[in-house]
Amino acid sequence: EIVLTQSPATLSLSPGERATLSCRASQSVSSYLAWYQQKPGQAPRLLIYDASNRATGIPARFSGSGSGTDFTLTISSLEPEDFAVYYCQQRSNWPPLYTFGQGTKLEIK
């Protein structure tokens, strides 16, 4: 089973700052990596798929990069609504099995 490790567990930043979130896989997942944002009491929302493609309606300040085992979600300039928990998720080739990282909480400093 592929394990995804996210770092840091908590990131404290101020609005306007740049956020860099990391997701590392225990073995290569090619580009089958997605990022989600979750706010309290809400379902997760897809931000990035296939490592670097923004989902529909996602602002350009969100970007994803990486391949293989190391991935990054970058928020170029934090808006107040960006403070939330972020999860990465991977899909293995066959059989299709999925795992999530443990999450990074992005909090206001």
Partner 1 sequence: QVQLVQSGAEVKKPGASVKVSCKASGYTFTSYDINWVRQATGQGLEWMGWMNPNSGNTGYAQKFQGRVTMTRNTSISTAYMELSSLRSEDTAVYYCARGADYYAGWGQGTLVTVSS
CA distance 89 to 76: 21
Site residues (CB under 8 A) for partner 1, limited to 63-92: 87, 89, 91
C-beta closer to partner 1: residue 17 or 50: 50
Q: Is 60 in the site for partner 1 (CB under 8 A)?
A: no
Rg of the chain on CA atoms, in Å: 13
Q: Is 62 in the site for partner 1 (CB under 8 A)?
A: no
- Look up residue 92 and give its amino acid: S
CA distance readout (Å), 75 to 12, 28, 35, 98: 13, 24, 12, 25
Binding site for partner 1 (CB under 8 A): 1, 32, 34, 36, 38, 43-46, 49-50, 55-56, 87, 89, 91, 95-103
